[in-house]
Amino acid sequence: MASTAMRFSATSTGAEAFPRRNSLAGFLTVSARSSAKSRLRFIGRSANLSFIRRRSSFSVKCVSGSEARKTLHDPVSQQQEATTSLSSLTPDASSIASSIKYHAEFTPLFSPHNFDLPQAFSATAQSVRDALIINWNATYDYYERLNVKQAYYLSMEFLQGRALLNAIGNLELTGAYAEALSKLGYTLENVAYQEPDAALGNGGLGRLASCFLDSLATLNYPAWGYGLRYKYGLFKQRITKEGQEEVAEDWLEMGSPWEIVRNDVSYPIKFYGKVVSGSDGKKHWIGGEDIKAVAHDVPIPGYKTKTTINLRLWSTKAASEDFDLHAFNAGRHTEASEALANAEKICYILYPGDESIEGKILRLKQQYTLCSASLQDIIACFERRSGANVNWEEFPEKVAVQMNDTHPTLCIPELMRILIDVKGLSWKDAWNITQRSVAYTNHTVLPEALEKWSLDLMQKLLPRHIEIIEMIDEELIRTILAEYGTADSDLLENKLKEMRILENVELPEEFADVLVKSKETTDIPSEELQSSEQVEEEEKKDDEENKDDDNDEVEGTIAKKKGTDESSIEDEKEELPVPIPEPPKVRMANLCVVGGHAVNGVAEIHSEIVKDEVFNAFYKLWPEKFQNKTNGVTPRRWIKFCNPLLSKIITEWIGTEDWVLNTEKLADLRKFVENEDLQLQWREAKRSNKVKVAAFIREKTGYFVSPDAMFDIQVKRIHEYKRQLLNILGIVYRYKKMKETSPVERKENFVPRVCIFGGKAFATYVQAKRIVKFITDVGETVNHDPEIGDLLKVIFVPDYNVSVAEMLIPASELSQHISTAGMEASGTSNMKFAMNGCILIGTLDGANVEIREEVGADNFFLFGAEAHEIAGLRKERAEGKFVADPRFEEVKEFVRSGVFGSYNYDELIGSLEGNEGFGRADYFLVGKDFPSYIECQEKVDEAYRDQKVKMDKNVNIEHSRLIQV
């Protein structure tokens, strides 16, 4: 691993990002660039499991420093330096069945009297976990011996999905476990279905983090993930007549068989209190509220390797002495357990609502808990591996901390605090170490997602950290002054305003006079100066003379606006708003850029926007910090395990399963593109997956859908910029046109479609929840319309998660990635759909750009404005120059007619109207892109209809795009 950065890219850490154009066939462009030769072979030193019969030995030649890095990354050196002597025995079905029965009896989470499906899952998972623990211990024994540089990935979300099938697939034990469970009277599929998704994430941010861990393990990189162990997750989504309803997640209700509680690994976390200077000259943070963070480990196995890395999740609790026994016995039960409740609620839910001050405090507590506990753990590991002689200068050579978005920003001041206050380093040394150790991944260009925290709130909760942040801000001011000087006051003022970490905060006293404009007038001739003064005096006099006229005009405007007479004018004038100063804030994204050595965007276009717009001033100052790392996804979970039918076909025709680790081998499919047998197998696999989804939809929603219709899917977090509203309005337009044609014409002109939505709207995001309600109302009307029948169905799948995605994506034929251009950082679901033989319709946004380059423009349904046009289009709208397409106006009126029920959609439709104002003016350009969108959808229909007619000549639409370049 590079000593200066933890670089997640296809060529360095197995992030499996998109390669350059023409490097692959037109699909599966997400690649794990490793081979069997480059994998470390870790095995357990001994095992007392019932299905491991022989002892295995593990030996390495210990190396350190640069030798260790060479050993880890050079396959030849690896083979020479890391050797294994083993006598391995692949466990058979009988021994696995014995292991499962053992866990059912001796480590049960359920009553031993029954062995129903939930019990079978729990015992099976514990059986798998035994093997993972052996590999986990061997992996980290190896890393400890080599004292390697280790990556630490900090994220508020890890959207893992179910673990059982992924784990046994990576261990290459799927067949053996299926046979073992068959001996016990169950199918592997039914047992795996019992596992709840781990409720540790919400969207792409969390799924990306989990894909990274899978890739890091598969490519044998020393790495850990750090997150929080949310008891209730985000929420479980129910769809009712009122739309989305949120209830608490119950994923831990029956316990998790995967996690290993490390009661001996806990760290103190402090809030509030005050900072004092000690006699030793150090700052001491004392008093306040103290809690403990306790580690829960989840093993993450690599594919076809013994490497098993770790996801460490923190739970929070208070010390037992904080329980007030006296108060409890006196009947004051709530008071007695208040400290315990305050500690535990930190890890109750992901992203607690922050409308209230209590919600804001809780969110900040979550972020600090993640950062503080993780850094204390990282430093403890560094010190342990260093032995008696700890050299802090080596810290950046052994530690890489990657902050997944701005949530872990407090890593920067927390690392500084520990190094200075606890370890006794100087500010200069601590700052140098911190900047070299920490890096930042930006995931958004949306202003609301670039976190800002109240300075006052942070000062109360984390007083020492504010002192450190203020000092970092001063360091930045010095850098800006050194770069731009003081000659141009306006330029300097703009740079400080844009770049400072502390927003709306006066300059420190040291810099108080740097923005004072020069009053020297020696360069101005006296007559010009006098003339200027005379002009100013005359203008002032004119202003006074015209004051009454101006007031009349203002007052007349007010009266006209309010419909009042002149007698109320004075009262109205008093009611005019007085500007309120903006409160001081801490800009977390700016702190990330300043405090780290690397900043990366997550798609090519996003990274350019980051440099050109979001952090342009920082880019001009430190261009070397800014990088692109296009996101990636793991082909293990997202093809091999979730789509076994397609995987089997690929392996059969290529002649090897090596494509799972080396996806460039998929180019071998090109030679068979015209083969009718391949085409037939491909179509049959797709239809089988669609039949499965049709049954799932029936189970979850009660609606019947035809597997012979096109499956058109948009599944992702519900947000205005992702434009589910554009999708559903396009469906409304389609439905209206269907109703206006005769039955014969309807059948001839419209391709049957099943339009599937899924995703959660944040609980307090009103407009997003209106969109969910609108989708379900349209579905209620369309799905019960006998004239339409199977020609159109609209489905909203409740409680969308990873497991649902694993079912829907293999069945998809058209996938929608239609965000407003320039607003989607990457979007990794587009990759998953492409990998499974699905055509995309989308804008030039996020990773869509690179997918389109890879598969070719002819194989991507493109529509809509481009990123460089967006600002101009919004300006045009604000100036009242936008003219809506008649078809767009037609759709809005159709919605307002009440055809989809009695719910009042004025606010939703109103957001698409007007030229300015909050919640209006169509900020996300739905109206602008609507005509382009529906015309593009017509092309989709034509292509789908064409492949139906010419099936003997072409692979059907998604598959022709899939394997032809």
Contacts 24+ apart (CB under 8 A), 15-18: 15/212, 15/215, 15/629, 15/631, 15/632, 16/211, 16/215, 16/632, 16/633, 16/634, 16/635, 17/629, 17/630, 17/631, 17/632, 18/630, 18/632, 18/831, 18/847, 18/850, 18/851, 18/854
Active site residue 407: no
599 forms beta bridges with: 440, 626
Residue 90 buriedness (CB in 10 A; 0-12 / 13-18 / 19+): exposed
Active site residue 443: yes
Active site residue 716: yes
Choosing from 417, 500, 722, 817, the catalytic residue is 722
Structure tokens at 416: 């500084």
How many Å is the maximal CA-CA distance in the chain?
105
Choosing from 716, 874, 877, 959, the catalytic residue is 716
316 forms beta bridges with: 293
Cα 728 → chain centroid: 24
Choosing from 443, 465, 686, 961, the catalytic residue is 443
User: Do the beta carbons of residue 300 and residue 634 sit within 8 Å?
Assistant: no
The two beta strands, 814-817 and 839-842, are parallel
Choosing from 625, 717, 723, 773, the catalytic residue is 717
Q: Give the whole-angstrom CA distance, residue 694 versus residue 795.
A: 11
Q: Give the whole-angstrom CA distance, residue 759 versus residue 798.
A: 8
Q: Give the whole-angstrom CA distance, residue 954 versus residue 197.
A: 39
Closest CA to 18 of 877, 788, 630: 630
Q: Is the dihedral of CA 99, 100, 104, 109 positive or negative?
A: positive
Q: What is the DSSP string of 232-248?
A: S-S-EEEEETTEEEEE-
Q: Give the whole-angstrom CA distance, residue 855 versus residue 773.
A: 36
Residue given tokens 């004392």 in the structure block: 286
Residue given tokens 């073992």 in the structure block: 180
- Local structure of residue 902 (DSSP, 8 states): S
Active site residue 928: no
Active site residue 832: yes
Choosing from 828, 874, 877, 928, the catalytic residue is 828
Q: Give the whole-angstrom CA distance, residue 29 versus residue 603.
A: 14
With a CB cutoff of 8 Å and minimum separation 6, the contacts of 779 are 703, 793, 794, 795, 796
With a CB cutoff of 8 Å and minimum separation 6, the contacts of 704 are 694, 698
SS3 state at 673: coil
How many other C-beta atoms are found inside a 10 Å radius of the C-beta of residue 483?
A: 12
Choosing from 417, 832, 877, 892, the catalytic residue is 832
Closest CA to 430 of 396, 382, 478, 479: 396
Structure tokens at 738: 């269907």
Active site residue 683: no
Contacts 24+ apart (CB under 8 A), 475-480: 475/431, 475/594, 476/500, 476/501, 476/594, 477/507, 477/508, 477/511, 479/621, 480/621
Rg (CA), the chain: 31
With a CB cutoff of 8 Å and minimum separation 6, the contacts of 479 are 621
Q: Give the whole-angstrom CA distance, residue 101 versus residue 177.
A: 13
Closest CA to 26 of 663, 647, 658: 663
User: Do the beta carbons of residue 100 and residue 180 sit within 8 Å?
Assistant: yes
Give CA separation, 596 vs 446, 463, 622, in Å. 21, 22, 11
632 forms beta bridges with: 17
Q: Give the whole-angstrom CA distance, residue 472 versus residue 420.
A: 14
Catalytic residues: 443, 716-717, 722, 828, 832
